[in-house]
């Protein structure tokens, strides 16, 4: 075999191995209830999950998706049922581009204040809408305001995803303040809460992504974070962050 052929074959093999590794890390292969990855398989972190509530909204979510795509970043979107109609293309795009979609109730009602019948109207109705659109049923739940009763936790039929860092971006449009708060408080395995319905929040998200990527962080979806930490999410259990095992 010629030296040129050997070099070419080596280069192709290296490219394929790199591509397979990248596919393993970034493809949204993990769904709730499937076996988690063994710790020996975990790539290097640190990892962080960027999450957005209350969308989608065409004017802001589309810009966010464009910029996340440019950076190769996946995020998790907890959507409101009232915003599904008319934004189906955005949701299908999220799914196609490797983002995770979750439940944030149909009307943004507190799950600490609803009974069983209202829980169905808020959570299961949205789950059914997303299932019809996306062809699956395994959606994690984020209760509005982070509040839910024990009875509704038992009804959830999904892991309950809260957060470890909240800049309260709904309270102002100060991206400098929001960005600084997130950067000062983020840790490996953290879950960041933002809202994709505000232009200032989109700006904050992208600034945080750029800074944390420069620090070596990798952005993953919440379900990918579970898989990378070797944790199987349990229905009705609340999660705020998924730190490394040594913590």
Q: Report which DSSP code applies to 240.
A: S
CA distance 192 to 167: 9
Residue length, the chain?
Answer: 247
Cβ atoms of 141 and 159 closer than 8 Å: yes
Helix (H) or strand (E) holding 13: helix 3-26
The alpha helices in 27-71, defined as continuous H runs, are: 58-71
- From the list 53, 54, 138, 196, the catalytic residue is 53
Helix (H) or strand (E) holding 141: none
Known active-site residue 172: no
- From the list 54, 99, 195, 196, the catalytic residue is 195
CB environment 185-217: b (16+ within 10 A), e (fewer)? ebeebbbbbbbbbbebbbbbbbbbbeebeeeeb
For 202, list phi and psi in degrees, rounded to 5.
-65, -45
Burial of 85 (0-12, 13-18, 19+ CB in 10 A): exposed
For 104, list phi and psi in degrees, rounded to 5.
-135, 30
Known active-site residue 195: yes
Cβ atoms of 242 and 229 closer than 8 Å: yes
Question: How many CB atoms lie under 10 A from the CB of residue 35?
Answer: 9
Catalogue the active-site residues.
53, 195
């Amino acid at each position: 075999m010629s030296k040129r052929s050997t070099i070419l074959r080596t280069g192709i093999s290296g490219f394929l191995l790199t591509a397979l590794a990248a596919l393993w890390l970034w493809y949204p292969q993990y769904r709730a209830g499937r076996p988690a990855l063994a710790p020996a398989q975990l790539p290097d972190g640190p990892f962080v999950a960027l999450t957005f509530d209350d969308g989608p909204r065409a004017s802001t979510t589309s810009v966010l998706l464009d910029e996340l795509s440019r950076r190769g970043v996946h995020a998790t979107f907890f959507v409101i049922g009232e915003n599904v109609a008319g934004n189906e293309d955005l949701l299908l795009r999220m799914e196609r581009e490797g983002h995770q979609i979750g439940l944030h109730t149909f009307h943004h009602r507190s799950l600490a204040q609803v009974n069983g019948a209202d829980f169905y109207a808020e959570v299961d109705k949205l789950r059914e809408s997303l299932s019809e659109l996306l062809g699956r049923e395994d959606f994690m739940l984020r209760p509005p305001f982070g509040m839910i009763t024990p009875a509704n936790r038992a009804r959830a039929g999904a892991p309950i995803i809260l957060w470890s860092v909240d800049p309260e971006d709904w309270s102002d449009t100060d991206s400098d303040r929001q960005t600084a708060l997130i950067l000062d408080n983020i840790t490996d395995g953290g879950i960041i809460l933002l809202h994709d319905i505000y232009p200032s929040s989109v700006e904050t998200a992208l600034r945080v992504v750029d800074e944390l990527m420069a620090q070596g962080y990798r952005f993953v979806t919440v379900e990918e974070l579970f898989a990378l930490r070797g944790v199987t999410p349990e229905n009705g259990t609340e999660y705020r962050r998924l730190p490394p095992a040594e913590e």
